[in-house]
């Protein structure tokens, strides 16, 4: 209900919308800012009455106790609770308080239950204007419209009889010209008291006297320290002479440690020989054919002591140069030679490079099941023009991919001065298998370096000088790598791509006869076969380089029963078994990488002091 002359409320039907908003915001700001000093106790009085209204069931009601206490406190503090007129300054604007209203019909109806002589609190004075905002702020949109069905009327009806009601104060609006209200709304900002907003204070369940005032604590105040006030007595104290050793001893130890480390680094550097070399041979395969003065294409069918299934040929389909690269590529044998009685006689052709009949002749007999070599491949060496004793070798190559392929880059003795294999040694720079990485014994993602040595074939002690190297996230069939060897009188090591990545390292410290513990074995030899050699024997003689791609074999390089191996090493029909399973393994050769070993370049250096390498020798990086 709105009295005449009141500014329009939030729910009024007429009036200016901006005036309503300005008036509501102004009244809300005044209520949120709290009462002036003179009305402080009246606010407490109203708060206590509101508190008693909600706590009636727990405490006995004493009429007027709160009001008298508030009056007594006001007089004790020397303030008048009921001045005729008051003014409150809000941001420099004086707001006049109207005099206490006379009792109306509404107030008279409640005079029995609540005193009317008290001044209304700030919240009561402006309740007409902030009550709508309060409802929206607290989420309670209920208003006492006086109608029987309103929420507030229902709450009043629910209160038990005999219970004193809250003090009812007549509401008196502030009458200002509309322009003043508009200007006032521009300069007043919302403020919240330390106890929260108005609704929070009205609904508080705590007593006023239970709220503790927050008193400012003692804080530190900085000040400037004058020169004469500083305490420097500690500078005048006499130091213990022994304290200096607390710094001298650690520094001396640190210096000594650096000196010792420097000596070790220097001695290690001096211990590595800086060798000078003479270039023996270099081939980048830019010519259309192999250099016959250096390269020998081996032509044999005997299996080279490993029972290999390939016939090494000099045919262009097996060894050729293409795109400035050497290709060594295995191919299938002529099917007619495999299925009919036939003979491959390299002696009649005059092409065999071996000295024995078994290495030069192969026969297919359909009656007893023997067959010629089921595959043809290539094997070349530098025995014609590039031999070295101590030196370096580097081969840049990409290895083949395909089941049961056996690529190798290795050195073999030129004259076998200490006897037949393995008495004169063998240096395998890099060997691998063409099977993919899932092969249990390592496929084309792993290479191995090995030294073969021993007085007899059965006593080969290769396992004492053997090591493997895995490709990093790839295989050796996917890209080119540098396979290298450095070899001198004191040590031998192989490396991959750089001398920093060593694969196998062996220092010539213990003689190989002692290293292999051959003295306690029953051997066909009379004694130490390397007695007349150096400590590096049998690796102190000339060797030549071999490049080949073998296929299969019966020497256990491919173990029986693994990865579906289609033949058995001990079977006399191993070659035939391999041929009959060609539908399984031959498709693995047909891949983008191919079954061929591709070689970009070959370099061989002779160490100074051997094989005519003298003053023209130079260090090689």
Closest CA to 444 of 401, 396, 484: 401
Q: 152-160 long-range contacts, Cβ below 8 Å, gap at least 24?
A: none
CB 325 within 8 A of CB 285: yes
Residue 482: exposure state from Cβ atoms within 10 A (0-12, 13-18, ≥19): middle
> Which position among 426, 478, 486, 580 bears the catalytic label?
426
> Which position among 311, 431, 486, 489 bears the catalytic label?
431
d(CA 576, CA 202): 105
- Residue 426 falls in the annotated catalytic set: yes
The 10 Å Cβ neighbour count of residue 110 is: 16
Within its chain, how far is the Cα of 425 from the centroid? Answer: 47
Closest CA to 432 of 583, 597, 592, 285: 597
How do 375-377 and 310-312 pair as beta strands? parallel
Enumerate the β-bridge partners of residue 451.
427
- Residue 431 falls in the annotated catalytic set: yes
d(CA 480, CA 397): 5
d(CA 571, CA 464): 30
Secondary structure element (H or E) that encloses residue 20, with its range: helix 17-33
Residue 594: exposure state from Cβ atoms within 10 A (0-12, 13-18, ≥19): middle
CB 428 within 8 A of CB 450: yes
How do 276-283 and 618-619 pair as beta strands? antiparallel
CB 346 within 8 A of CB 312: no
Structure tokens at 22: 């300005």
Instruction: Quote the strand ranges of 197-354, DSSP E.
Output: 276-283, 296-297, 310-312, 319-322, 325-328, 331-332, 342-345
b (16+ CB within 10 A) / e for 236-255: eeeeeeeeeeeeeeeeeeee
Q: Where are the alpha helices (DSSP H) in 227-287?
A: 245-271
d(CA 466, CA 464): 6
Residues annotated as catalytic are 426, 431
């Amino acid at each position: 209900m709105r009295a005449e002359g009141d500014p329009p409320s939030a729910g009024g039907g007429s009036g200016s919308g901006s005036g309503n908003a300005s008036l509501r915001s102004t009244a809300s700001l005044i209520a949120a800012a709290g009462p002036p000093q003179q009305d402080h106790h009246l606010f407490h009085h109203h708060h206590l009455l509101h508190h008693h209204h909600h706590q009636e069931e727990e405490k006995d009601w004493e009429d007027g106790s709160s009001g008298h206490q508030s009056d007594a406190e006001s007089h004790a503090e020397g303030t008048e609770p009921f001045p005729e007129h008051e003014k409150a300054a809000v941001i420099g604007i004086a707001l006049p308080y109207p005099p206490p209203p006379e009792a109306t019909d509404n107030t008279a109806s409640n005079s029995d239950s609540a005193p009317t002589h008290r001044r209304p609190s700030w919240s009561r004075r402006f309740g007409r204007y902030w009550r709508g905002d309060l409802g929206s702020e607290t989420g309670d949109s209920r208003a006492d419209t006086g109608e029987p069905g309103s929420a507030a009327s229902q709450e009043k009806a629910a209160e038990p009889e005999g219970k004193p009601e809250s003090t009812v104060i007549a509401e008196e609006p502030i009458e200002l010209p509309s322009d003043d209200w508009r200007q006032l709304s521009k300069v007043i900002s919302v403020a919240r008291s330390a106890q929260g907003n108005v609704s929070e204070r009205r609904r508080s369940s705590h007593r006023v006297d239970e709220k503790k005032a927050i008193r400012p604590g003692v804080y530190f105040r900085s000040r400037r320290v004058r020169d004469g006030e500083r305490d420097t007595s500690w500078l005048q104290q006499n130091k213990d002479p022994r304290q200096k050793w607390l710094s001298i001893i650690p520094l001396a130890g640190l210096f000594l440690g650096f000196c010792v480390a420097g000596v070790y680094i220097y001695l290690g550097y001096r211990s590595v020989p800086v060798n000078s070399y003479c270039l023996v041979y270099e081939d980048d395969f830019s010519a259309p054919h192999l250099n016959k003065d250096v390269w020998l294409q081996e032509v044999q069918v005997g299996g080279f002591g490993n029972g290999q299934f390939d016939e090494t040929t000099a045919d262009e389909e097996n060894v050729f140069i293409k795109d400035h690269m050497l290709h060594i590529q295995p191919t299938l044998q002529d099917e007619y030679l495999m299925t009919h009685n036939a003979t491959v006689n390299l002696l009649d052709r005059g092409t065999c490079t071996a000295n024995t009949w078994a290495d030069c002749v192969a026969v297919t007999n359909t009656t007893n099941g023997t067959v010629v070599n089921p595959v043809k491949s290539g094997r070349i060496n530098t025995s014609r023009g590039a031999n070295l004793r101590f030196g370096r070798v580097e081969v840049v190559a990409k290895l083949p991919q395909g089941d049961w392929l056996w690529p190798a880059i290795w050195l073999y003795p030129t004259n076998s001065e200490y006897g037949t294999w393995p008495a004169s040694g063998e240096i395998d720079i890099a060997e691998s298998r063409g099977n993919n990485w899932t092969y249990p014994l390592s496929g084309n993602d792993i290479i191995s370096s090995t030294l073969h040595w021993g007085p007899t074939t059965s006593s080969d002690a290769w396992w004492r000088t053997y090591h493997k190297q895995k490709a990093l996230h790839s295989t050796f069939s996917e890209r080119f790598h540098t396979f290298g060897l450095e070899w001198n009188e004191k040590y031998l090591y192989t490396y991959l791509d750089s001398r920093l990545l060593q694969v196998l390292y062996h220092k010539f410290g213990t003689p190989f006869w002692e290293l292999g513990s051959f003295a306690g074995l029953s051997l066909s030899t009379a004694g130490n076969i390397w007695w007349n050699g150096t400590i590096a024997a049998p690796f102190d003689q000339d060797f030549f380089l071999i490049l080949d791609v073998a296929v299969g074999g019966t020497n256990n390089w491919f173990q029986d029963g693994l990865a579906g191996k289609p033949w058995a090493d001990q079977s006399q029909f191993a070659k035939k078994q391999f041929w009959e399973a060609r539908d399984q393994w031959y498709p693995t050769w047909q891949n983008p990488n191919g079954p061929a070993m591709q070689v970009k370049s070959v370099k061989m250096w002779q160490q100074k002091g051997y094989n005519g390498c003298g003053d023209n020798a130079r260090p090689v990086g």
